Amino acid sequence: MSAEPPPRTRRSSSLPSGYLALAALALLVSCGGKEGSALERVRQAGVLRWGADAQGGEPYAMEDPEHPGQYRGFEVELADALGRELGVRAEFVQNDWSSLIPTLERGGSFDIAMNGVEITPARAGRVLLSRPYYLFSLRLMARRDDSSVTGLESLRGRRVGTLSNSQAWDLLLSSGAQAIPYEGVQEPYIDLEQGRLDAVLMDDIIAQRYGMTRPGLQVVGDVGEGYYAIAVRPGEEELRRALDEALDRIARSGELRALFRRWGIDGAAQQRMVEWTEAQTREVLAETRTTRLGWSQLVLFLQAALVTLLVSVGAMALAIPLGMALALGRLYGPRWLGGMTTAYVELLRGTPVLLQLYVLYFGLASVLRLDPLSAAILGLGLNYAAYEAEVYRAGILAVPKGQLEAALALGMSGPLALRRVVIPQAFRVALPGVTNDFIALLKDSSLVSVISVVELTKRMTITAVDVRSWLVPGALCAALYLGMSYPLSRLARRLEAKLERA
């Protein structure tokens, strides 16, 4: 998810870094040197490797449930047809959708990216795009009982879900809507149904499969259209031309629409794909745009850092008292309470926090409808309470038994003795652990982007894809994290030094 390091395909990540450096060097040489060698390379290897994300699901490309390791979808069939036309075998390479283009650019382990890649000015400015192979509409959906969503104009300032860095994303931003980024195609419709979003704008293929099947939602209308095309590395013009010609042949022969029909995504409009001309390709690819990192992005970064800080501080403010209650329950409570707190700690500590966030936000949505920020704070807070409980328990156990006895001998009640004598001393022991946890939490807070909270890391990935560089946004992101965590650890160290004396 967004917490992962900058994109890298599964294959290249398994290679030793030395090989990776060599491969990068080789790529630099090949890019700068002879043009058009990509097609030869594909032909010589006898395989056209195409990058896509099986998580994108139906009908694009997905893992065949009956034959694990094999893939199906209209793009899988199209890739096979393209391979046949080029005289090679097509091979699927899994890659996160949001990083398909950056991975292709930096010479990942696939030759082309084909996975609902839309023709946008930003993409046309970064990579080579083939002629389109599918015409889609941007479909706006809202709740059936909400008549206030009537079209693009009605979305100004409202929460609209979509995939980040998509054509719909750009359209929403330019029309003044509050675009909420998602990583999957199902979650935005769940949130729309739950009332956490006002509308969802997605490609019609997605809307048809994931949105229109929900009885509580309705189609407001199609507010734009666009094309899916194949992305090819810059400089590999010859490969692109070969793909264009192959697509032409597949479209003209009727095979393309037959394929669309099989997957239930054909329509009269797709005839334009059959009659498509080179002049039209030039026209749709004419507009290119390169975004640069500017002040406006810096402001967005700072806002995102504030969200990170808010989520972390909020979660810790919940984790500290809850963790203390858990630790006390486990140490001093009756047997049944001790058992329950132990179970809580083991459950929350032993399962991924990502899973807990999903369950809290999507899984329990029908009984507990939390907005994303509250769910993020609650989810991380509940999770970190389990860690805090153990830190405090260790701290309390480290306080000599005589301290409690001395307090009791002076006539203090158990709770008073804990509050006045044991816990303050336990806190001293626990402080380095608590600081450690808070800094870990600051970074773990990037996980909440899966429930559509745009925090620092998510902002970084969105911007990095936009400006086609991971270096500057990455460095900025790192600096902001450090800017938050370093003063905190300094403060903790000073506090420790102060307590050291006692």
Q: Which of 264, 267, 424, 487 binds other proteins (CB under 8 A)?
A: 424
The H-assigned helical ranges of 290-400 are: 295-332, 335-350, 353-358, 372-398
Using the 8-state DSSP alphabet, how is residue 129 labeled?
E
Q: Which of 4, 283, 405, 496 binds other proteins (CB under 8 A)?
A: 405
Nearer to other proteins, 421 or 460 (CB): 421
Task: Name the minimum Å distance from CB 389 to other proteins.
Answer: 22
Closest CA to 107 of 184, 41, 183: 41
Give the burial string for 347-359 (b: 16+ CB within 10 Å, else e).
ebeeeebbebbbe
CB 470 within 8 A of CB 102: yes
Task: Name the minimum Å distance from CB 404 to other proteins.
Answer: 9
Candidates 62-70, 201-209, 312-320, 494-502: pick the segment binding other proteins (CB under 8 A). Answer: 494-502
Residue 406 found at the interface with other proteins (CB under 8 A): yes
Candidates 63-71, 112-120, 418-426, 458-466: pick the segment binding other proteins (CB under 8 A). Answer: 418-426
Task: Name the minimum Å distance from CB 350 to other proteins.
Answer: 34
Q: What is the footprint of other proteins within residues 195-224 (CB under 8 A)?
A: none
Q: ∠ CA 423-425-428 to the nearest 5 degrees? A: 110
Tokens of 326: 């858990």
Q: Which of 272, 420, 490, 494 binds other proteins (CB under 8 A)?
A: 420
Nearer to other proteins, 358 or 427 (CB): 427
- Residue 6 C-alpha from the chain's centroid: 12
d(CA 139, CA 141): 6
Q: How many CB atoms lie within 10 A of CB 457?
A: 23
3-state secondary structure 325-336: HHHHHHHHCCHH
Task: Name the minimum Å distance from CB 305 to other proteins.
Answer: 36
Q: Which of 400, 483, 487, 494 binds other proteins (CB under 8 A)?
A: 400
Task: Name the minimum Å distance from CB 399 to other proteins.
Answer: 8
Residue 416 found at the interface with other proteins (CB under 8 A): yes
Q: What is the footprint of other proteins within residues 434-463 (CB under 8 A)?
A: none
Residue 403 found at the interface with other proteins (CB under 8 A): yes
Q: Which of 8, 257, 428, 458 binds other proteins (CB under 8 A)?
A: 428
CB 85 within 8 A of CB 70: no
How many residues contact other proteins, by CB under 8 A?
A: 21
Please give the backbone phi and psi of residue 80, each rounded to the nearest 5 degrees, phi first. Answer: -60, -45
Q: Which of 62, 129, 382, 421 binds other proteins (CB under 8 A)?
A: 421
Q: Which of 331, 340, 373, 412 binds other proteins (CB under 8 A)?
A: 412
Nearer to other proteins, 300 or 412 (CB): 412
CB 422 within 8 A of CB 404: yes
CB-count burial class (<10 Å; 0-12, 13-18, 19+) for 303: middle
Q: ∠ CA 175-177-179 to the nearest 5 degrees? A: 120
Residue 288 found at the interface with other proteins (CB under 8 A): no
Residue indicated by tokens 């899916």: 228
Candidates 56-64, 327-335, 354-362, 424-432: pick the segment binding other proteins (CB under 8 A). Answer: 424-432
CB 384 within 8 A of CB 316: yes
Please give the backbone phi and psi of residue 134, each rounded to the nearest 5 degrees, phi first. Answer: -150, 140
Task: Name the minimum Å distance from CB 357 to other proteins.
Answer: 38
CB 188 within 8 A of CB 209: no
Candidates 106-114, 203-211, 339-347, 409-417: pick the segment binding other proteins (CB under 8 A). Answer: 409-417
Which value, in Å, is the radius of gyration of the alpha carbons in the chain?
Answer: 27
Ranges of beta strands (E only) in 164-313 are 178-182, 199-203, 217-228, 231-232
Residue 425 found at the interface with other proteins (CB under 8 A): yes
Residue 494 found at the interface with other proteins (CB under 8 A): no
Residue 409 found at the interface with other proteins (CB under 8 A): yes
Residue 334 found at the interface with other proteins (CB under 8 A): no
Nearer to other proteins, 372 or 395 (CB): 395
**Binding-site ranges for other proteins (CB under 8 A):** 400, 402-403, 405-413, 416, 420-421, 424-425, 428, 499, 501-502
